[in-house]
């Protein structure tokens, strides 16, 4: 077995030495094991550049991996062969991954309002409202602790977001007050959005008691399931998800004139390029467009006549 080989065990130590997140380390090792399983009669050192290239083709064309997952496999095998075994093959430059970037699903302001009117449980309304208000990923939202809200400065601290990055996002005083009322209902010291589990009625007499005594945070899957019910109940025809609230946050801020660099910082994007996609879905009314167009020439020429 590959896990018993010295080259693999030494590679595990090599990966552990890297400043990678736990999930990334596990995925890198899994992709190397997956390659080894396709060549059980050869050691990983014996595999040629062509064999590794064919494996990537197999993942793309036969297993139909999504571009993001295929890229994980490529990065994992590159780390093993180029960084660890020093095989500087041409395939690292030759293998191409076609990345389709569909436009994000964005809700209009009216649809967002209808969505929240359809939410029946306050615990889900609270977390979904904060996702939209601060442009959070659902995983970031459910992991929040009461101490992550700095009411004096009016900011929300997102700890260990995507890529292990931390950031601060402004939060309105009105939202802080709504969350304060929500927290006073359960008073869980550890979690802003405590998870109660499906069988909470069997353990506790009330939802308040279940939330107050919860040891863990609300699960991502429970929020996603709640939103699916809400979207259907609100009569929204778009394929909206929790991430659509984040998309809507970004789009609505851009439509209101917030700079794209500021929106990018709020979202916690590693580069501005990730935020540019929202420029394709922002809506500016024809009236605003005409006003902006008229202002351009007014600012350029002032009262100067064009008559000869």
Q: How many CA atoms lie within 13 A of 233 on its CB side?
A: 14
What does pTM read for this prediction?
0.69
Report, as residue numbers or ranges, the catalytic residues: 137, 162, 243, 246, 269, 278
What number of other Cβ atoms are within 10 A of residue 25's Cβ? 15
pLDDT score at 54 = 94
Asked whether the predicted pLDDT for residue 300 surpasses 80, the reply is no
Confidence bin at 147 (pLDDT 50/70/90):
very high
Rounded to 5 degrees, φ, ψ at 147 are -70, -10
What is the helix (H) or strand (E) element at residue 183, kind and residue range? helix 173-186
Rounded to 5 degrees, φ, ψ at 150 are -100, 95
- Distance of CA 33 to CAs 85, 92, 277, Å? 16, 19, 36
Q: Residue ranges per domain, the chain?
A: 2-94, 109-280
- Condensed to tens digits (0 to 9), the pLDDT of residues 197-237 reads 887 888 888 999 999 999 999 999 999 999 999 999 999 99
pLDDT score at 66 = 85
How many DSSP H helices and E strands does the chain contain? 15, 3
- Condensed to tens digits (0 to 9), the pLDDT of residues 248-296 reads 999 999 888 888 999 999 999 888 878 888 877 776 545 555 666 567 6
- Find, among 26, 10, 128, the residue nearest to 34 by Cα: 26
Contacts 24+ apart (CB under 8 A), 213-217: 213/188, 214/186, 214/188, 215/190, 216/191, 217/142, 217/143, 217/191, 217/193
The proportion of the chain whose per-residue pLDDT surpasses 70, expressed as a percent, equals 90
The CATH class of 2-94 is mainly alpha
What tokens appear for 5 in the block?
């080989």
What number of other Cβ atoms are within 10 A of residue 187's Cβ? 11
Instruction: Tell me which of 34 and 202 has the higher pLDDT.
Output: 34
From the options 1.20.120.330, 1.10.3720.10, 3.30.420.10, 1.10.443.10, give the CATH code of 109-280.
Answer: 1.10.443.10
Phi and psi based region of residue 89 (left: phi greater than 0; alpha: psi -120 to 50; beta: remaining): beta
């Amino acid at each position: 077995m590959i896990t018993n080989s010295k080259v693999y065990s030494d590679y595990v130590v090599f990966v552990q030495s890297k400043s990678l997140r736990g999930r990334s380390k596990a995925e890198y090792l899994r992709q190397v094991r997956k390659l080894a399983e396709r060549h059980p009669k050869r050691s990983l050192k014996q595999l040629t550049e062509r064999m590794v290239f064919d494996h990537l083709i197999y993942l793309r064309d036969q297993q139909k991996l999504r571009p993001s997952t295929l890229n994980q496999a490529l990065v994992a095998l590159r780390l093993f062969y180029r960084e660890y075994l020093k095989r500087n093959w041409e395939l690292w430059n030759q293998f191409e991954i076609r990345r389709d970037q569909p436009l994000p699903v964005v809700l209009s302001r009216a649809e967002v309002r209808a969505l929240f009117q359809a939410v029946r449980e306050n615990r889900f309304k609270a977390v979904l409202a904060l996702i939209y208000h601060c442009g959070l990923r659902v995983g970031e939202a459910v992991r929040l602790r009461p101490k992550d809200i700095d009411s004096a400065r009016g900011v929300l601290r997102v700890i260990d977001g995507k890529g292990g990055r931390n950031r601060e996002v402004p939060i309105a005083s009105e939202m802080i007050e709504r969350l304060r009322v929500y927290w006073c209902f359960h008073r869980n010291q550890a979690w802003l959005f405590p998870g109660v589990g499906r069988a909470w009625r069997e353990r506790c007499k009330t939802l308040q008691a279940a939330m107050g005594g919860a040891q863990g945070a609300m699960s991502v899957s429970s929020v996603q399931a709640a939103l699916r019910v809400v979207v259907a109940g609100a009569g929204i025809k778009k394929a909206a998800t929790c991430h659509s609230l984040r998309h809507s946050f970004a789009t609505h801020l851009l439509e209101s004139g917030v700079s794209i660099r500021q929106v990018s910082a709020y979202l916690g994007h590693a580069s501005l390029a990730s935020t540019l996609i929202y420029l394709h879905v922002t809506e500016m009314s024809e009236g605003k467009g005409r006003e902006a167009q008229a202002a351009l020439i007014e600012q350029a020429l002032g009262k100067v006549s064009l008559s000869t």
